[in-house]
């Protein structure tokens, strides 16, 4: 009876620690989640979740389905509900990581619960309380869900390897099903798990338990069946519907992400070695010296009989995550890069937990009762986890972030009736799509997503809804740019606005004037008087926008958005011939990034002279082209 009582008590204590491992992160994420979405792709996923649409390739069907489930919760605005999906998934990942680390510690002969459980909890909190992990949990994105699926797979593999030899291959079947789901969410990150799973799969095959192997294959296919969402929803013409995968050819175009395949390897800035250093610096910034401590932890695992396979699992996860993220490029100032690295965060956590395990595990011939030193180390690890949460809370906090909504007012909500808006920046397009999906205030406004016009079905669908756009869009596909006659012809029928960009030809500047954050096309062309009045109005709009944004945390991606706006404003004013307004726009740009070389060159070109007339800005289009 005493043994049974102890087991029950031990089970209750373990469940308590499991509850802490999931609830502490979730409460932190809940308190700091965004109620308005975020820059980059966040608003796109809001739109896809609300309307069960299809996001950019590879489609991410599972993210849309999970987001839709959370959108049905009767709490707060829709954007917040979908952000809570990320919070919940990141918390599930924390729980799975806790269980995986617990199994790893026990495999290293650290058995006592007052050492194992606090240490596993502390490490999981340290990892999930880091900025890179936390920031994926407070905005609508694919990475928190992918982290949850990845950590569940790793936990099941660790449990199976730790119990080897065994005939219970249920963890393998579970892993296969979750892998199928992961492939239907972010297939590149899921594919990186195949080298991790392969050795365990081969061992299972050698055991000749074909029933388990067959069940694993069926489970994998069941998870992959989520991809049926793409053609089924595409046939309903949702918004967004990027790639319109209604045929086999279009389905593979979307799933293979052909639109982004050039943005890898040699197709991105910086050398491969510099990108690897960027990745390592990013990890070190979040996890500090514990990135280095992970190395002796790995050494301890590889030296310990019966734990080598676990060490190899964590090592392969870490190495593949770092190498692939560096190959893809675009690491600096990119929160999505940290989303790719969440498996690496988990692996580093497991490895530095192994380092602590090597310090406290009993030696042969020594009593296994935990000494005060072992309990003290476990307590220190818990404190480290709590300190990590404290240190990164303010940096990851998006609870007061409203800049995205302030911008949406100026781009979409306040546009004249029946406006047509040509948007060039993907994140601006997503801001408009997500806002309309949530509030449905401006169904009369037509958003033309310029960078997606070459996607299958996009132009045909726009023309079917808005026949007046036929000449403009057909001309764009034929010439690769918008032409003045088609723009002014459409502007004579409907209010027409253009988001200024390096892809807007300088020859079009004389047909436009500033209007809010965009530029209005004037039928018959713009006069100097039109431009002066519009420039003064735009200056006042920026003053108001800055006042609204500065009441909240003025974070980097908001600065990047404004920097790009001021730069393109400068291009317009220089090309139009309004040098005074160009200097004002450059001044605002340089307050955000004083060291940008193109801005300095533009400032030097403007000089202090009183010369008048347009300036050729062609070379600056190439210098700052994305």
Statement: residue 258 has pLDDT above 80: no
Q: What pLDDT shows up at residue 354?
A: 92
CA atoms 117, 118, 119, 120: torsion sign: positive
- For 402, the token pair is 């409203």
pLDDT (mean) for 453-478 = 93
Q: What pLDDT shows up at residue 375?
A: 84
Spatial separation of the C-alpha atoms in residues 450 and 370, rounded to whole Å: 64
Higher pLDDT, 184 or 268: 184
Give domain limits for the chain. Answer: 13-259+270-396, 403-623
pLDDT (mean) for 45-61 = 95
- For 277, the token pair is 């250093």
Each residue's pLDDT tens digit, 201-223? 887 777 767 777 888 899 999 99
Q: Which residue has the tokens 């918004």?
A: 239
Please state, rounded to an integer, the average pLDDT across all residues of the chain.
89
Statement: residue 527 has pLDDT above 80: yes
Q: What pLDDT shows up at residue 111?
A: 73
Higher pLDDT, 373 or 469: 469
Each residue's pLDDT tens digit, 568-589? 999 999 999 999 999 999 999 9
- For 625, the token pair is 């082209």
Alpha-helix runs per DSSP H in 550-596: 556-576, 579-592
Q: What pLDDT shows up at residue 390?
A: 95
Burial of 269 (0-12, 13-18, 19+ CB in 10 A): exposed
pLDDT (mean) for 520-543 = 93
Q: What pLDDT shows up at residue 8?
A: 62
pLDDT category at 363 given cuts 50, 70, 90 is: low
Q: What pLDDT shows up at residue 1?
A: 44
Q: What pLDDT shows up at residue 626?
A: 43
Sheet holding 512-515, edge to edge: 446-449, 420-423, 496-498, 518-521, 512-515
Q: What pLDDT shows up at residue 510?
A: 94
pLDDT (mean) for 59-68 = 96
pTM: 0.92
Higher pLDDT, 10 or 15: 15
Q: What pLDDT shows up at residue 9?
A: 65
Each residue's pLDDT tens digit, 97-151? 999 999 999 988 777 778 899 999 999 999 999 999 999 999 999 999 999 999 9
CA atoms 288, 292, 294, 300: torsion sign: negative
């Amino acid at each position: 009876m005493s043994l049974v009582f102890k087991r029950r008590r031990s089970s209750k204590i373990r469940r308590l620690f499991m509850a802490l491992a999931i609830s502490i992160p979730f409460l932190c994420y809940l308190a700091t989640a965004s109620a308005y979405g975020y820059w980059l792709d966040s608003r796109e996923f809001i739109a896809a979740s609300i309307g069960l649409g299809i996001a950019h390739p590879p489609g991410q069907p599972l993210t849309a389905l999970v987001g839709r489930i959370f959108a049905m919760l009767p709490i707060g605005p829709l954007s917040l509900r979908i952000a809570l999906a990320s919070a919940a998934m990141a918390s599930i990942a924390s729980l799975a990581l806790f269980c995986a680390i617990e199994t790893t510690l026990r495999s290293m002969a650290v058995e006592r619960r007052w050492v194992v459980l606090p240490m596993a909890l502390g490490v999981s909190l340290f990892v999930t309380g880091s900025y890179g992990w936390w920031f994926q949990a407070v905005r609508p994105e694919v990475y928190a869900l992918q982290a949850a699926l990845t950590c569940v797979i790793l936990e099941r593999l660790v449990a199976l390897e730790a119990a080897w030899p065994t005939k219970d291959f249920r963890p393998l079947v579970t892993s296969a099903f979750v892998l199928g789901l992961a492939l239907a969410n972010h297939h590149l990150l899921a594919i990186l798990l195949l080298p991790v799973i392969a050795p365990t799969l081969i061992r299972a095959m050698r055991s000749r338990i074909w029933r388990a192997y067959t069940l694993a294959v069926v489970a994998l296919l069941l998870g992959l069946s989520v991809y049926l969402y793409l053609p089924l929803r595409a046939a309903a013409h949702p918004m967004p519907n990027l790639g319109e995968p209604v045929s086999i050819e279009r389905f593979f175009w979307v799933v293979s992400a052909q639109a982004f395949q050039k943005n890898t390897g040699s197709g991105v800035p910086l050398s491969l070695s510099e990108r690897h250093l960027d990745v390592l610096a990013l990890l070190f910034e979040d996890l500090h010296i514990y990135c280095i401590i992970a190395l002796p932890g790995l050494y301890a695992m590889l030296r310990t009989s019966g734990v080598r396979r676990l060490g190899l699992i964590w090592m392969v996860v870490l190495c593949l995550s770092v190498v692939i993220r560096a190959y893809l490029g675009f690491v600096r100032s990119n929160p999505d890069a940290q989303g790719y690295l969440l498996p690496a965060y988990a692996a580093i956590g497991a490895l530095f937990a192994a380092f602590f395990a090597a310090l406290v595990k009993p030696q042969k011939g020594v009593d296994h009762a935990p000494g005060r030193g072992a309990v003290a180390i476990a307590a220190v690890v818990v404190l480290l986890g709590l300190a990590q949460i404290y240190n990164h809370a303010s940096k990851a906090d998006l609870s007061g972030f409203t800049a995205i909504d302030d911008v949406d007012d100026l781009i979409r909500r306040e546009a004249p009736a029946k406006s047509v808006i040509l948007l060039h920046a993907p994140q601006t397009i997503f801001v408009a799509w997500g806002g309309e999906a949530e509030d449905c205030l401006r169904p009369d406004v037509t958003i033309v997503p310029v960078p997606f016009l070459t996607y299958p079905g996009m132009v045909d669908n726009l023309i079917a809804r808005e026949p007046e756009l036929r000449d403009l869009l057909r001309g764009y596909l034929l010439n690769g740019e918008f032409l003045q006659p088609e723009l002014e012809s459409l502007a004579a029928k409907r209010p027409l606005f253009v988001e200024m960009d390096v892809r807007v030809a300088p020859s079009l500047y004389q047909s436009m004037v500033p209007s809010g954050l965009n530029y209005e096309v004037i039928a018959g062309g713009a006069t100097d008087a039109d431009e002066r009045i519009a420039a003064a109005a735009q200056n006042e709009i920026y003053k108001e926008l800055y006042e609204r944004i500065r009441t909240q945390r003025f974070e980097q991606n908001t600065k990047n958005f404004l920097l790009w706006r001021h730069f393109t404003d400068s291009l317009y004013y220089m090309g139009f011939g309004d040098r005074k307004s160009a200097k004002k726009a450059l001044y605002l740009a340089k307050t955000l990034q004083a060291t940008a070389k193109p801005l300095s060159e533009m400032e030097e070109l403007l000089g202090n002279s009183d010369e008048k007339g347009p300036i050729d800005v062609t070379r600056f289009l190439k210098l700052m082209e994305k």
